[in-house]
Structure 1
């Protein structure tokens, strides 16, 4: 098998707050092959967006990564100096931000925004003299490239939109601008962070269809972040289910819907509205406090199937079927052995006291 385009192993992430150390990500393992679309799903607050920002190197200054690796084409991005990491951000990895209403700067036109992005992508590795000469790069060529991309995302009047301010555009049009900007450098990996969240259902469906067409046309690798499993099934090859900063289940999209195994995944699927069944009550309870993470199963207090061992022993992920992993005590080592499965050790984060002493 060829080397994955992106491979995250045992990624732990903490953020220091006024109240203490918040444990945000706990042992994330995620892999994206060339040309593959991966969906990262889970409820609000589970850590999806911060995982995307970790990949892009857009973390707040108060964030620390005590352990883990994040490899892009075999290069560990976490070990690179900021200047070298910038060579990947925007150039080889693009990101569509969640809210088109706030992602665009209201004081710049779309044209200003897109051409500035192109200038940055072309100059971040240049020396001072080269950078100064690049300031005189033909604005006509940059304008031509921007308008070309606006046309590619099916904007009917790209020249007019190029000269427009964000406030003059609808939400759907702004989202198309963000998609066009993310694709300016033709990145190998595109991260789409819930691009339809702030849009009405009709506009969201059009944006989703546009994205799918672009993914197919350009054969990109994609991480699509969403809380909607039905969207994940439509757009992805593989689905990672995330809960409280952990991956609790991973499977091919069709397999996950046909054979969900983690109680959290089952609860998410039962929450999807359907004409053939009554509206579900959803999953009772709340996400655990990031300032006081339990050392056992994170879902135990909300799980309808929890047993005493769920509150005593951390559930290692197991492969219960080909390409299907689940972190749950309902699936014993004997169950995994029946499928020739293997335990997946996600590692243990350093003790809170150790981290506090180091800082």
Structure 2
């Protein structure tokens, strides 16, 4: 097997605030293989976007006190800003979350796409240098042709017209397709899609996700989807990482996670998905903890219906509960998923088996698994 394209190891990301240091990302680990499509799933505010912006080097105000981001065998945190900028431009790309605000309103779609083709991955330039380049005579026919072809690939019916249009002249779905076209212009090896359909209606979102899935499959691109919707993750991903309050609480191949969800938070997310059979879903009571004063053990304990006193005293390190299936919860036994937790694994915490396994839970498990089938 070839080396993974991306390995995130024990990543911590902090922000200095007036209230103190916010420990937003707390020891995140995940891997993406060559050509794999993975998902990072969790409710709003759990740290998904902070995680991926850290991967891209887009958080200048953040502090990363610990961790590694290994991309193609190199630790991105050890590279210079210019080296990161070069890779971000040519090999790594990102589709931003909101199509309504991610495009420059004073430039046409074509100007923005041509600028990407000309300057992505190149050293940063001043405004004066950029304007001077704009005033140069000379043909940009090749850039224009490539941009129009890319607009056509994302199934925009009038690519020439859209090339000349300003973002305000386009619908939300059209803008999202333009963002996808821009992200794929440089044929990246690794693509991050940060909730690419969240600002769209359901029908348009499905079309956009199907289109994106088709395009990245053709190019064998490795993809990390960011979403709060496990139903969407089920449709687009091979592997799912469930995040809560800056920590990965469960990881598994998509089919395995839906067939047998382990962590109480994952099960709560699945139960909250609306279906025709169960209505609008139950939701999860409570709210995310304060990142400036997070719980020292389980960050989900205050919202967990199965929490015991030990959950608030001893850190629930991620453990391998099944082959290629990790869960960070004291309800499960298993060896530590990461070497740094070996010492913690020697301390036994017994709060009993999962309550849903102690009863006749067959029907409940089926309902939970079925809950993610409808987006």
Length-normalised TM-score, structure 1: 0.90
The residue number in structure 1 matching 2:41 is 41
1:27 paired to 2:21: no
Partner of 2:82: 83
CA–CA distance in structure 1, aligned partners of residues 67 and 54 of structure 2: 11
1:65 corresponding residue in structure 2: 64
CA gap 1:257/1:138 in 2 versus in 1, 3 angstroms: same
CA contact (8 A) 1:27 1:346 kept: no
- Given that 1:38 and 1:240 are in contact with CA atoms closer than 8 Å, whether structure 2 keeps it comes out as yes
Instruction: Tell me the equivalent position of 2:192.
Output: 191
Per-residue deviation, 1:18: 2.1
Report the equivalent of 1:14. 14
Q: Secondary structure at the match of 2:147?
A: helix
Q: How does 1:202-281 map to 2 (within 5 A)?
A: 202-281=203-282
For the 8 Å contact 2:86–2:122, the answer to whether it is kept is: no
Question: 1:212/1:22 Cα in 2 relative to 1: closer, same or farther (>3 Å)?
Answer: same
CA distance in 2, matches of 1:189, 1:156: 27
Deviation at 1:270, TM superposition (A): 0.5
Q: 1:90, 1:182 within 8 Å by CA — same for their partners in 2? A: no
Segments of 5+ residues of structure 1 without an aligned counterpart are 348-359
1:121 and 2:120 aligned: yes
What residue is the counterpart of 2:98 in the other structure?
99
Q: Deviations over 1:95-126 (max 9, x none)?
A: 00000000001100001111111111263399
1:28 and 1:138, CA in 2 relative to 1: closer, same or farther beyond 3 A? farther
Q: Please give the alpha-carbon distance, in whole angstroms, between the structure 1 residues aligned to 2:122 and 2:24.
A: 34
Tell me, what secondary structure is at the counterpart of 2:250? strand
- Matched with 2:338 is 344
Cα distance in structure 2, aligned partners of 1:283 and 1:22 = 23
Task: Give the structure 1 partner of residue 367 of structure 2.
Answer: none
1:168 aligns with 2:162: no
Give the drift of 1:171. 0.3
Distance 1:160 1:83 in 2: 35
Matched, 1:181 2:182: yes
1:7, 1:72 within 8 Å by CA — same for their partners in 2? yes
Instruction: Name 1:351's counterpart in structure 2.
Output: none
Q: CA RMSD in A?
A: 1.9
Which 10-residue stretch deviates more, 150-159 or 269-278?
269-278
Alignment partners' CA distance in 2, 1:278 and 1:205: 21
Task: Provide Cα deviations, 1:186-238, integer angstroms capped at 9, x if missing partner.
Answer: 00001000011111111111101101111221111000000010110111000
Structure 1 counterpart of 2:286: 285
Report 1 or 2 for greater relative contact order, CA contacts < 8 Å, sequence distance ≥ 6. Answer: 1
1:291-310 aligned within 5 A: 291-310=292-311
- Distance across 2 between alignment mates of 1:242 and 1:45: 10
Residues 98 and 193 of structure 1 are in contact (CA less than 8 Å); yes or no, is this contact kept in structure 2? yes
Distance 2:87 2:288 in 1: 33
> Does the aligned pair in 2 maintain the 1:271–1:279 contact within 8 Å?
yes
Deviation at 1:30, TM superposition (A): 1.2
Tell me how far 1:136 sits from its aligned partner. Answer: 6.4
Q: Which runs of 5+ in 2 are unaligned?
A: 342-375
Q: Partners of 2:154 and 2:278 in 1: how far apart?
A: 37
Deviation at 1:278, TM superposition (A): 4.0
Contact 1:149–1:184, Cα closer than 8 Å, also in 2? yes
Cα pair distance change 1:304/1:213, threshold 3 Å: same
Look up the match of 1:314.
315
Alignment length (residue pairs): 336
CA distance in 2, matches of 1:213, 1:268: 27
The alpha-carbon deviation at position 343 of structure 1 amounts to 4.0
